[in-house]
Amino acid sequence: MEFNDEQLERYSRHILLKDIGIEGQEKILDGRVMIIGAGGLGAPIALYLAAAGVGHIGIADFDKVELSNLQRQVIHFTGDIGKRKVDSAAEKMKAINPGVDVAVYGDYLNSRNIRDVIRDYDFVIDGTDNFASKFLINDACVFEGKPFSHGGILRFDGQTMTVLPGATPCYRCIFNSPPPANSVPTCSQAGVLGPVAGMLGTIQATEALKFLTGAGELLAGRLLIFDAKTMRFRTAEVRKNPKCPVCGDHPTITELADGEQAICDLKH
Ligand code: ZN
């Protein structure tokens, strides 16, 4: 494709990078990324991917903007309170970069529709904050063979890994099944330091751009964990688990559970 002058200038700092260049920027412009959750993680992810020029971005969240979101969900402004998060997010993304297409999914994403939704995308990003959603996204992506970024934050901590289904360990290879309900608090119960969401979300956005361009080495087969209190980062090498219930040698989960539990509650 031919870049026009506006694109050459807008993306000049990417084009200058040896690992991205014109060719990499073309791949970004052709890229399709689905962001699940327009909250603490989804906010920086959506801003950076729109700024980077990811050609088609999907964003899903059924929630409305609340005052308590604004401490960390930097894509939403005070004047957006009461608006659907997907609409508030799409507005900012288009304002940053009118060249990107944004598709909004403002209804519940659940076990019945998630596979159809993610099928249209090259890469999926989990920006949810509850285990039911994380396991649902993992399983749907494994079934669809869809690469994705897992991410989670709580208090001062962040955790992320990129999954290339079939090739690298999935979320269930490490965490077999969701912990009992209410045994692990969510951010709305235990709190989270605002910028921790930005730290983790920007890592996930970076992974998406690396995936689209082929630059660098993905965080696949490695679980990155950081503690912002001590600002220590570590990566743990993880292997595919032959006993994984979804991607192991003898999977026991072969379809998405169709029930109340699997409803993707994207509250953040
Ligand atoms: Zn697995």
Residue 220 belongs to a domain: yes
What pLDDT score was predicted for residue 127? 97
25-60: per-residue pLDDT in tens? 999 999 999 999 999 999 999 999 999 999 999 999
Query: How far does residue 222's CA lie from ligand 1's centre (Å)?
Result: 13
Query: How far does residue 239's CA lie from ligand 1's centre (Å)?
Result: 9
Residue 252 belongs to a domain: no
Query: How far does residue 139's CA lie from ligand 1's centre (Å)?
Result: 9
Query: How far does residue 112's CA lie from ligand 1's centre (Å)?
Result: 21
Residue 21 belongs to a domain: no
Query: How far does residue 147's CA lie from ligand 1's centre (Å)?
Result: 13
If one counts the domains in the chain, the total is 1
Joined together, the tokens standing for residue 161 give 């890994």
Query: How far does residue 256's CA lie from ligand 1's centre (Å)?
Result: 14
- Nearest Cα to Cα of residue 59 among 84, 28, 77, 83: 84
What pLDDT score was predicted for residue 237? 97
pTM of the model: 0.95
Distance between CA 178 and CA 192 in Å, rounded? 21
| Number of Cβ atoms within 10 Å of the Cβ of 168 | 20
Query: How far does residue 4's CA lie from ligand 1's centre (Å)?
Result: 44
Residue 262 belongs to a domain: no
Residue 242 belongs to a domain: no
What pLDDT score was predicted for residue 268? 41
Query: How far does residue 221's CA lie from ligand 1's centre (Å)?
Result: 11
Domain span at 128: 31-237
Query: How far does residue 196's CA lie from ligand 1's centre (Å)?
Result: 27
DSSP string, the chain: -PPPHHHHHHTHHHHTSTTTHHHHHHHHHH-EEEEE-SSTTHHHHHHHHHHHT-SEEEEE---B--GGGTTT-TT--GGGTTSBHHHHHHHHHHHH-TTSEEEEE-S-B-TTTHHHHHTT-SEEEE---SHHHHHHHHHHHHHHT--EEEEEEEBTEEEEEEE-TTTS--HHHHS-SPPPTTSS--HHHH-B-HHHHHHHHHHHHHHHHHHHH--S--SBSEEEEEETTTTEEEEEE----TT-TTTSSS-S--S---SGGGSB----
Residue 51 belongs to a domain: yes
What pLDDT score was predicted for residue 46? 98
Query: How far does residue 70's CA lie from ligand 1's centre (Å)?
Result: 35
Distance between CA 67 and CA 80 in Å, rounded? 9
Q: What is the CATH number of the domain that holds 133?
A: 3.40.50.720
Tell me the backbone φ, ψ of residue 77, rounded to 5 degrees: -110, 170
Residues 6+ apart with CB under 8 A from 245: 172, 176, 177, 251, 252, 253
Query: How far does residue 3's CA lie from ligand 1's centre (Å)?
Result: 41
The partner residues of 155 in beta bridges, in order of sequence, read 192
Joined together, the tokens standing for residue 33 give 């990324």
Distance between CA 158 and CA 155 in Å, rounded? 8
Query: How far does residue 128's CA lie from ligand 1's centre (Å)?
Result: 19
Query: How far does residue 21's CA lie from ligand 1's centre (Å)?
Result: 34
Residue 61 belongs to a domain: yes
Residues 6+ apart with CB under 8 A from 181: none
Residue 80 belongs to a domain: yes
Distance between CA 216 and CA 209 in Å, rounded? 10
Query: How far does residue 213's CA lie from ligand 1's centre (Å)?
Result: 25
Query: How far does residue 241's CA lie from ligand 1's centre (Å)?
Result: 6
* Chain Cα centroid distance, residue 125: 2
Query: How far does residue 248's CA lie from ligand 1's centre (Å)?
Result: 6
Which segments in the chain show pLDDT lower than 50? Answer: 260-268
Query: How far does residue 180's CA lie from ligand 1's centre (Å)?
Result: 20
